[in-house]
């Protein structure tokens, strides 16, 4: 049974992938890319040549990626194995993966050896919704031991300080998410709150980054 980490077909997830794809020019290594949804938003023919590689630790997810025509899906346990042996790419995508691995420093450092252009998506478990859940004793997550549950819960400043050890953030974009799709006017209002008070209202952010000069 596929260990899904959320609904992958709703517009919130698609909007995030569109933003990530908009930063990608040339070959892409999608680290922790699950079933390869990002490929659907990249330029035509990415999945039919060497331009799109997918790495994930879920074998069933990789089978789904293969059924969609993704030729270069590689199984890898990122807690035990290294991406450093992969070839170089124009873009490395680390989408919601740095808070799932045991050693995010290692993964981010390795990514800088494979590309000068890294796109990172992060989640925010410090929203007002999550704070209220904790206040009433429900915890941040209803399934804290799920394989896709976050191991750490940084604020955006903590994320940016961590990323800044290796990379220069060129651009950032906040994203929002609900379990079920809301009316567009709700999205419109919340996204503006997210940009004004991201720690309280943004569900996550996408960072376009370049490797920090040594």
* Region of residue 48 (phi > 0: left; psi between -120 and 50: alpha; otherwise: beta): alpha
| pLDDT, position 85 | 81
Sheet of strand 73-75: strand arrangement: 73-75, 52-56, 28-31, 91-95, 117-123, 204-211, 167-175
**pLDDT class for 10, splitting at 50, 70, 90?**
confident
When pLDDT is averaged across residues 104-108 and rounded to a whole number, the result is 95
Is residue 29 within 8 Å of 110, Cβ to Cβ?
no
Q: Which residue has the higher pLDDT, 142 or 95?
A: 95
Domains of the chain: 11-211 (3.40.50.150)
Per DSSP bridges, beta strands 117-123 and 91-95 are parallel
**pLDDT class for 2, splitting at 50, 70, 90?**
very low
Is residue 75 within 8 Å of 17, Cβ to Cβ?
no
Q: Flag whether pLDDT at 118 surpasses 80.
A: yes
Question: Comparing C-alpha atoms, which of 166, 76, 73, 174 is closest to residue 123?
Answer: 174
- Can you tell me the distance from the alpha carbon of 186 to that of 189, in angstroms, rounded to the nearest whole number? 5
Q: Beta-carbon neighbour count of residue 118 at 10 Å?
A: 25
Is residue 32 within 8 Å of 95, Cβ to Cβ?
yes
Per DSSP bridges, beta strands 28-31 and 91-95 are parallel
pLDDT, tens only, 55-74: 998 888 899 888 888 878 88
- Can you tell me the distance from the alpha carbon of 36 to that of 198, in angstroms, rounded to the nearest whole number? 28
When pLDDT is averaged across residues 162-179 and rounded to a whole number, the result is 94
Q: Flag whether pLDDT at 1 surpasses 50.
A: no
| pLDDT, position 195 | 96
- Can you tell me the distance from the alpha carbon of 122 to that of 148, in angstroms, rounded to the nearest whole number? 13
Q: Which of 110-119, 133-142, 159-168 is the least confident region?
A: 133-142
| pLDDT, position 163 | 97
pTM: 0.89
| pLDDT, position 73 | 85
Tell me the C-alpha to C-alpha distance, in Å, between residue 90 and each of 3, 30, 114.
30, 11, 8
**pLDDT class for 46, splitting at 50, 70, 90?**
low
């Amino acid at each position: 049974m596929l260990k899904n980490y959320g609904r992958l077909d709703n517009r919130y997830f698609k909007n995030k992938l569109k933003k990530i794809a908009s930063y990608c020019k040339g070959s892409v290594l999608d680290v922790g890319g699950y079933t390869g949804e990002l490929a659907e938003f990249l330029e035509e023919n990415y999945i039919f040549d060497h331009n799109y590689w997918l790495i994930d630790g879920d074998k069933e997810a990789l089978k789904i990626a293969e059924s969609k025509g993704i030729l270069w899906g590689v199984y890898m346990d990122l807690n035990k194995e290294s991406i450093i042996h992969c070839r170089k790419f124009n873009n490395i995508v680390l989408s919601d993966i740095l808070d799932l691995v045991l050693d995010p420093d290692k993964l981010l450092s390795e990514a800088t050896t494979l590309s000068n252009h890294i796109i990172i998506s992060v989640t925010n478990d410090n929203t007002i919704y999550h704070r209220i859940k904790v206040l009433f004793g429900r915890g941040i997550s209803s399934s804290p031991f799920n394989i896709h549950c976050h191991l750490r819960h940084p604020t955006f400043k903590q994320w940016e300080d961590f990323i800044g050890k290796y990379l220069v953030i060129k651009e950032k974009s906040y994203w929002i998410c609900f379990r079920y799709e809301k009316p567009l006017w709700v999205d419109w209002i919340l996204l503006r709150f997210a940009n004004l008070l991201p720690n309280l209202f943004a569900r996550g952010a996408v960072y376009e980054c370049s490797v920090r000069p040594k």
